[in-house]
Structure 1
Amino acid sequence: MSNVKEENSTADEPGIQFDEIEGEVENSEIENDSNISKQLREDVATEETDTLSKVQEKTSFVSQREIISIIFSKKTLYHVLVLFVLLTFFGIISYTKSDLASSLILIFGYGGSLGYFVTAALNRFEEIKNLSRSQSFTSLILPLSLSLIFSSFIWATLNNETYGENMKRLLTWGYILIFVLWQFAQAWWMRVPFKEIALRQMSKSPENETSKIGILLNLLSPFIWMLVGTLCFYFVSTQISGFKDNFDYLFMIFWVLLMMAMGSITFYLLRTMHREFLYDSKVAAFSGYFALGYWGFLSYHAGVFLYSMYNDPSFLYDLVFMIVTIMLVIYSLSVNVLRGEARRAHLSPTNHYIGKATGLMSRHNVIFYSISFTIAYGASNFFLATADTSLIGGIKGVSRIAHMIVLVSGILVLLIVNYNLLTGRGLISEGFVESIRSPKHN
């Protein structure tokens, strides 16, 4: 009996060992499968990261040829001509300072702006897009028809005996609001061309090196443009006898103090935000060259603000700058639209694809939105130069407030652009307000 038990026990031992070996094989296969899947996930993540970096690299710049094709396209040529003809008409009648001129600017300003805004919104339909973007005069049928309809409605409302005066007062305040809001908007839009220049300079800078170009340009840009402004003031004083008496040592002291105060405050906040990252070659190149360009815009408004403290605001200078601003608005909106489309196209093969929706604007209707916005701004500008604005302290008060808004908004935009750069590169993670606070723990 004992021999039989021993034989049975010895016979069972190989089976037990075989089960153990089989279990070890299965465990090793599971571990290998998990390692393979983990490796695959890491490879996919690495591939997606590389793809995203390539997408960011490709969408950093926008083709200037595409922008020019939007601004100077033959399909939108007649619409741009309508814009300048309408603004020229507003400028001519504004010199009359008459009630009729004010009424015409109210009627056709709002009417034209609403007409082109609705045209832009309707351009998502293929038939309307083909009609309004043709190379013939027929492309003007829809926007001009809509503009006349809105203008007729506004004319009828203004001539109503019951609420005509209240409507006129409401539309007047609407122009004042548009004029003020435009100052915020142009400070934001003005960043686009200088940001494009700064991005190109950043791409030329080497990685992981130190540079003082950011410190130097952020520190010297206000001083450089202060000297340029001084030369401009001297030239104006030789051409305008009324300003020659105001261009004295006291004026120059105020000019220097204004630019130095703005420059010092901005540099302190930028230095607090960047900390040691301002010495990074990439960050330094972007921040420095952006400051060099953007301070030219700020110095213009600082100079006009100081000029209006001594003289009535010159709408001749504002008219010239308005034309530049109009082209800038079209340029800025076009850049944003093209960059969004490029990002969407490059992300389409990845898991980060954001869909086909183009949002409010596309390359086909951005010109119509731009025309709508600039008609509203141009009309508000000429209306304030024509109408009785005593209810808001006169046109001089409006001009001063407007330029002050631009200066404050411009400094804020300069900080926001630098903040977006730092967060986009993963250098800082705190909020915007927290990033400019000093000390950080307060």
Structure 2
Amino acid sequence: MQSPRKITVLLKGYPRLSETFIAQELLGLEKAGFELELVAMRRPTDKKRHPVHDEIRAPVHYLPEYLHEEPLRVLKALVKTCRLPGFGTMLKQFCKDLPRDFSRNRFRRLGQAMVLVAEWPGKAEWLHAHFIHTPASVAFYASLLGGLRWSVSAHAKDIWTSKDWDLADKLAHVDWAVTCTRAGYDQLSALAKDRRAGDRKVVHLSYHGLDLQRFPHFDGPRSMRDGSDPQNPVRLLSVGRAVKKKGYDVLLRALASLPDDMAWTFTHIGGGDELAPLKALASQLGIADRITWKGAMDQRDVLAHYRDSDVFALACRITADGDRDGLPNVLVEAASQGLMAVSTTVSGISELFVDGENGLLVAPDDPTVLANALQRAISDPALRIGLGRAAEEKVRRDFDYQNSIRDLTTLFNMSARQSR
């Protein structure tokens, strides 16, 4: 096996509370012997950090988020890169893309790519982008400009809200791509097959999983609450950003339709632009007094809530613009603690759960069927415990993040051998 080389990892923003799976992967790659340089397109906005962020040693560099905010930096990059052999090739690709996406965003990615190449960190020999939409656009232009080989990790929104032509062009030039759900793998493989000559495999499937040392088995007892005691209500939990694809409005309507005499409380952990409308909806539905909105929390506090709750609920949906989750990491986290989940059949969720075997799954955007599943879970503690145990067994067997690190190590080392 070749010695790992230094890798520049391009991120949309860093650090981010909602992207623990990326931070976990970065730390895993460092432990596997890779030297990393992190480059982010946005500075952090979260007020808290997960412990894993403090364990990552890689330095972090920030590109200009908006070109007009750092004009001299962008101008210096243009002067330096316009003399590179790849400048014309990059400009040709940009002129091909611009009529299909005439936007400020397209110009911004071009400028960021020039800055990335002009300020290329250290002696990194490889570029890896997280997300196949805007970060991969910057990586694509930078690869053409600087003659860099590159790879990409695709996840969820970045796949489903991107145009096919955009994904296909990137897949025709990238060395390899990896994604974390079968649905995403099938979508990208079809596009790569259409545009990539030869039989070399471009797209790879690798579930990112969990660092199970951070989520050890919970030995404590699960409660036998069944919703019949107002003094001891069943505790429902959800963790996720308050955005449309999470379906929290559907979940609130489902909760409001539960029997009036059923005792439950609901706790939400996470930030998001939809928090204010959701709180207003809860008041309108008459259930605000049963709900606690915790806001963003770090991983240690979230773990304590998994262990103290009875049911995990997440009503994922596909939005009008095609946005959707892949396999939300919070579902894997909850399952690792034996906490039974009620969720939907969207995207990769069905790759973790089988309805009635290790969780309860319903169709998305249907408050009635979701309420029926929640009522079943609330009233049957034995069912909760059994399904939760089965879910934990699957996570500990199939969703250890070390599997993903091994997959990535193989891919990076394969690239190293091919370049020598």
Q: TM-score, normalised by structure 2?
A: 0.20
State which structure, 1 or 2, has the greater radius of gyration over its C-alpha atoms.
Answer: 1
Structure with the bigger percentage of helix: 1
Structure with the bigger percentage of strand: 2
Q: Which fold has the larger relative contact order, with Cα–Cα distance below 8 Å and residues 6 or more apart in sequence?
A: 1
Q: TM-score, normalised by structure 1?
A: 0.19
